[in-house]
Chain A
Amino acid sequence: MENSQKFCGNCDGHNCYDYPTKIFCSTRYAQNKNPIVDTLWCCSDWSQVSQDCYCVQEAKKAKEATTKQR
């Protein structure tokens, strides 16, 4: 796996909500919590995604770009 750090964006339960920065988490939805979370966030229910995607690396790029703008 390309991403060794734990993020919502490389969690097995992740689906895009606003690519690449926001994730829809069906586990949180089932728990009646706000299901929209940051791609670079993480919780204790994290489990490794089975197939890599670009969410984490693109979210990091987006964060860097935002930081530079500021």
Chain B
Amino acid sequence: MQRKDYLLNPVEHMKIKAPLTVDQLMRQFSGSGSFSAGRLAVACDIYEKMLRDDECTVFLALSGAVIPAGLRALVSDLIRRRLIDVVVCTGASMVHDAIEAVGGRHYKGSWLVDDRELYKYHIFRIYDVLVTEEDYVRLDYQLAELYSKIADERKGEPLSSREFTWELGKYLSDPQSILRSAYEMNVPIFMPAARDSEFGFIHWLHSSQQNRKNTLCLDAFKEVPEICNICSQSPKNGMIVIGGGVPRNTVQSAALASKKGMDYAVVVTMDRPETGGLSGSTLKETISWGKVKDEADKVMVIGEATMVFPLMAASVLERLGEEFQRKPKTSTGEN
């Protein structure tokens, strides 16, 4: 590089004049091109590019507690508009979705509360979001019965987590539910760590019943070829990662195992790379594994997802307009 090559793009200072749409704000961020504003603007460009690329399958890797914190309807709507093709998430994300689908709620609270008192009232805290024990327990009771029904129908035949979420989506009727939307739109949801959530404890309850003939069986390995085949059969793959952890690793590993490598990648995280943990690992690091292509459009946005992701989605939806339509990208969601 020559000296002049470093000095091609001057920072355009942001001009904020009301009224201003979300995408207009993102364009101002793009003009600045600096720090988190610049990265968020690039993330919007990449998501738009993924969606306009007819050959690309869009994976959403979802972890953390963004569903109880308010992103449930957004994810559900994106699925219904076919702006997400595959979801890979923690069990807890779908537990929180299911809690609301059967009539429970999450409540605005504060991190400055007496947690001992919350314990006495049977109220659980997720930073500044509150949820009652009875909302969990009502879900436990309903799903333990559903587990028994599925187990009897399947006669002990193991399910992949994708088949399990399909069964949950079939059972739930709430149109705002992520599980229900995915079921109706044939969008597969993988929960590689399903056991590490209330779904695991519901299994405990279900299997504790005396004289129970069949118990529900999840096969953790059954989904590996399912997700790898999606990656393998798609000409291009893109991922949006909220958080990291097991969902991010599952998506990236599918790209690695299918010898594809991601063509597009947006990671929204607040984690640091120095521990060697996946959630904070840089996209540069993923290139060494072949999980993301060197030439991929990629960006890591360091920020909290309940703020970043809705801005990103709003900007991209504005760019696409109401008329924009994508074809379904996967057939694995059919059971």
**Distance, CA A35 to CA B142, complexed state (A):** 12
**Contact status of A30 and B137, CB under 8 A, knowing A16-B122, A16-B132, A53-B119:** no
Choose among B119, B141, B144 the residue with the greatest number of A CB atoms under 10 Å from its CB.
Answer: B141
Choose among B121, B137, B211 the residue with the greatest number of A CB atoms under 10 Å from its CB.
Answer: B137
> Which residues of chain B are within 8 angstroms of A51 by Cβ–Cβ distance?
119
**Does the CB pair B120–A54 fall under 8 Å?**
yes
Interface residues of B: mostly helix, strand, loop or mixed?
A: helix
Query: Which residues in window 262-294 of B have CB below 8 A to A?
Result: none
**Does the CB pair A16–B133 fall under 8 Å?**
yes
Query: Which residues in window 182-229 of B have CB below 8 A to A?
Result: 205, 208-211
Q: How far is the CB of A40 from chain B (nearest CB, A)?
A: 16
Q: How far is the CB of B169 from chain A (nearest CB, A)?
A: 25
Q: How far is the CB of A1 from chain B (nearest CB, A)?
A: 13
**Contact status of A19 and B208, CB under 8 A, knowing A29-B144, A35-B141, A54-B121:** no
Interface string of A5-46 (1 = CB under 8 A from B): 000000000011111000010100111100100000000000
> Which residues of chain A are within 8 angstroms of B133 by Cβ–Cβ distance?
15-16, 19
**Does the CB pair B205–A26 fall under 8 Å?**
yes
CB of B134 within 8 Å of the partner chain: yes
**Does the CB pair A26–B120 fall under 8 Å?**
no
Q: How far is the CB of A58 from chain B (nearest CB, A)?
A: 8
**Distance, CA A30 to CA B121, complexed state (A):** 25
Q: How far is the CB of B199 from chain A (nearest CB, A)?
A: 16
**Does the CB pair A19–B122 fall under 8 Å?**
yes
> Which residues of chain A are within 8 angstroms of B119 by Cβ–Cβ distance?
51, 53
The bracket for how many chain A residues form the interface is 10 to 19
> Which residues of chain A are within 8 angstroms of B120 by Cβ–Cβ distance?
52-54
**Does the CB pair B210–A19 fall under 8 Å?**
no
CB of B138 within 8 Å of the partner chain: yes
The bracket for how many chain B residues form the interface is 10 to 19
**Distance, CA A10 to CA B138, complexed state (A):** 20
**Distance, CA A32 to CA B141, complexed state (A):** 12
**Distance, CA A28 to CA B257, complexed state (A):** 47
**Contact status of A19 and B205, CB under 8 A, knowing A31-B210, A53-B121, A54-B121:** no
**Contact status of A29 and B208, CB under 8 A, knowing A52-B120, A53-B120:** yes
**Contact status of A32 and B210, CB under 8 A, knowing A16-B133, A19-B134:** yes
> Which residues of chain B are within 8 angstroms of A15 by Cβ–Cβ distance?
122, 133-134, 137
**Does the CB pair B121–A18 fall under 8 Å?**
no
**Does the CB pair B210–A53 fall under 8 Å?**
no
**Distance, CA A19 to CA B124, complexed state (A):** 14
**Distance, CA A17 to CA B122, complexed state (A):** 10
**Does the CB pair B209–A29 fall under 8 Å?**
yes
**Distance, CA A23 to CA B230, complexed state (A):** 45
**Does the CB pair B211–A16 fall under 8 Å?**
no
Choose among B134, B138, B209 the residue with the greatest number of A CB atoms under 10 Å from its CB.
Answer: B134
Smallest CB-CB separation from B141: which chain A residue? Answer: A24
**Contact status of A32 and B138, CB under 8 A, knowing A51-B119, A54-B121, A55-B122:** no
Q: How far is the CB of A6 from chain B (nearest CB, A)?
A: 19
Binding site for B on A (CB under 8 A): 15-19, 24, 26, 29-32, 35, 51-55
Binding site for A on B (CB under 8 A): 119-122, 132-134, 137-138, 140-141, 144, 205, 208-211
> Can you list 12 contacts pairing A with B, beta carbon distance less than 8 Å?
A15-B137, A16-B122, A16-B137, A17-B138, A19-B122, A19-B132, A19-B134, A26-B208, A30-B208, A35-B141, A53-B119, A53-B120
7 shortest interchain CB distances as A-B pairs: A30-B208, A16-B134, A16-B122, A53-B120, A16-B133, A54-B120, A24-B137
Q: A15-B134, A16-B137, A54-B121 are in contact. List 4 more A-B contacts (CB 8 A).
A: A15-B133, A19-B134, A31-B210, A55-B122
